[in-house]
């Protein structure tokens, strides 16, 4: 284990007025950077994982706007000065965990000193009558990862698996209707059961591969899809709910902000003690399952 979390920032949007992806990210990333031991010049990579951006635009990379807005090595002219690689990594609600793996590998290889991951998904809530409500909680999230010191805290091995045969259980796509673009959502009525089934299969494979069992973990950090999903996960894993981080809102999905919000809950409330081991479980459309471990 060589890469650990330096700082986390989050911003929950509650107002009824309009907001933007950039605003959500800005309000989460600025305090994150202020709390980190790394300066802006130390950030060698910036990854944006927001899937749903303002006006649903795709190019150029939204991460470049974030980099400029936050002033992270955005105006360097001398080639010898610090530079930051910025790009988008889009993979539904699995994006944040995917980005953790990428930054972990880049830091471990010595390519960068620290990395910043951000998300700020914005959904148009004037849904077409043919679409389901997205149920996403508008939230900004940011996390800085950096090289570990002399202890053994940080991320372990990462695992990802896609169950392609279940890919039709959750769909989102753009529809052009009444001269405007509308984001459309389609879910199976049993989507949370499908998620839990995929988690069961993927987690069994991950634990066997890493020679681990559930008793090895002090904390379980799942995707914050809903309170019902987390309750179902507790039953599935047969673990005490006190070990499972639950910051999910009622009938609201934290989506890409799930992992940073759950981890921030442990850090901010001094719940995780030095040496505690956590199992991180992600699940997303695809249907995808992602797992890793984290030692505090």
Q: What is the 3-state secondary structure (H, E, C) of 238-251?
A: CCCHHHECCCCECC
The better pLDDT of the pair 287, 175 is held by 287
Has residue 127 got a pLDDT over 60? no
- The DSSP symbol for 252 reads B
The model's pLDDT over 246-278, given as tens digits with 9 standing for 90+, comes to: 999 877 899 999 999 999 999 999 999 999 999
Residue 128 has pLDDT above 60, yes or no: no
- Which pLDDT tens digit goes with each residue over 26-50? 999 999 999 999 999 999 999 999 9
For residue 280, pLDDT over 70 is answered with: yes
- Report d(CA 253, CA 52) in Å as an integer: 14
Tens-digit pLDDT profile for residues 171-185: 888 777 777 777 788
Check: CB of residue 70 under 8 Å from CB of residue 40.
Answer: yes
Number of neighbouring beta carbons within 10 Å of residue 100: 27
Angle 202-171-15 from CA coordinates, rounded to 5° = 100
Residue 53 or 210, more confident: 210
Nearest to 66, CA basis, from 87, 82, 81: 87
Contact (Cβ atoms closer than 8 angstroms) between residue 217 and residue 242: no
Dist CA 279 CA 207 (whole Å): 10
Share of the chain above pLDDT 70, in %: 96
Structure tokens at 83: 């530079």
Euclidean distance between the first and final Cα of the chain, in Å?
Answer: 11
Reduced to 3 states (helix: H, G, I; strand: E, B; else coil), residue 164 is: helix
Of 157, 226, 237, 169, the closest CA to residue 203 belongs to: 237
pLDDT at 186: 87
Taking 60 as the threshold, does the pLDDT of residue 125 lie above it? no
| pLDDT band at 130; cut points 50, 70, 90 | low
Q: Which two tokens stand for residue 157?
A: 């091995």
Predicted pLDDT of residue 203: 98
Domains and CATH numbers, the chain: 3-148 (3.40.47.10), 159-295 (3.40.47.10)
Q: Please, what's the b/e burial string for 193-213 (b: 16 or more CB within 10 A of its CB; e: otherwise)?
A: ebbbbbbeebbeebbeeeebe
Q: Among residues 90, 91, 51, 4, which one has the least CA distance to residue 290? A: 91
What are the tens digits of pLDDT across the range 98-117? 999 999 999 999 989 999 99
**pLDDT more than 90, % of the chain:** 74
Q: Which residues pair with 267 in a beta bridge?
A: none
Helix (H, G, I), strand (E, B) or coil at 262: helix
**pLDDT score recorded for residue 17:** 66
Residue 91 scores a pLDDT above 70:
yes
Distant-in-sequence, close-in-space partners of 17: CB < 8 Å, separation ≥ 6:
none
Name the β-bridge partners of 162. Answer: 288
Residue 111: CB atoms within 10 Å: 12
The pTM (predicted TM-score) of the whole model is 0.93
The three-point CA angle 117-121-124 to 5° equals 170
Compute the distance between CA of residue 278 and CA of residue 262 in angstroms, rounded to an integer. Answer: 11
Residues 265-268: contacts with CB within 8 Å, 24+ apart?
A: 266/219, 266/221, 266/296, 267/5, 267/8
Residues facing 147 on adjacent strands: 3
Q: What is the mean pLDDT of the chain?
A: 91
């Amino acid at each position: 284990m060589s890469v650990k979390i330096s700082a986390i920032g989050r911003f929950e949007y509650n107002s009824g007025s309009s907001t933007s992806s950039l605003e959500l990210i800005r309000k989460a990333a600025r305090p994150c950077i202020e709390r980190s031991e790394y300066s802006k010049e130390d950030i060698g990579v910036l990854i944006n994982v927001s899937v749903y951006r303002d006006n649903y635009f795709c190019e150029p990379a939204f991460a470049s706007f974030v980099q400029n807005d936050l002033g992270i090595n955005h105006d360097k002219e001398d080639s010898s000065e610090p530079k930051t690689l910025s790009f988008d990594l889009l993979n539904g609600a699995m994006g944040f965990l995917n980005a953790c793996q990428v930054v972990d590998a880049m830091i471990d290889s010595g390519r960068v000193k620290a990395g910043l991951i951000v998300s700020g998904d914005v959904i148009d809530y004037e849904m077409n009558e043919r679409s389901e409500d997205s149920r996403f909680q508008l939230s900004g999230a940011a996390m800085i990862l950096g090289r570990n010191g002399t202890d053994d805290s940080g991320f372990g091995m990462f695992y990802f698996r896609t169950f392609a045969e279940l890919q039709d259980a959750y769909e989102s796509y753009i529809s052009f209707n009444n001269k405007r673009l509308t984001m459309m959502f389609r879910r199976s009525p049993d989507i949370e059961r499908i998620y839990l089934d995929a988690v069961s299969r993927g987690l069994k494979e991950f634990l066997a591969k890493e020679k681990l069992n559930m008793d090895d973990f002090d904390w379980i950090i799942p995707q914050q899809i809903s309170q019902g999903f987390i309750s179902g996960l507790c039953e599935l894993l047969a673990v005490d709910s006190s070990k499972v981080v639950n910051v999910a809102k009622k009938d609201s999905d934290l989506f890409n902000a799930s992992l940073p919000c759950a981890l921030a809950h442990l850090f901010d409330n001094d719940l995780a003690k030095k040496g505690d081991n956590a199992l991180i479980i992600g699940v997303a459309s695809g249907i995808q399952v992602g797992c890793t471990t984290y030692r505090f």
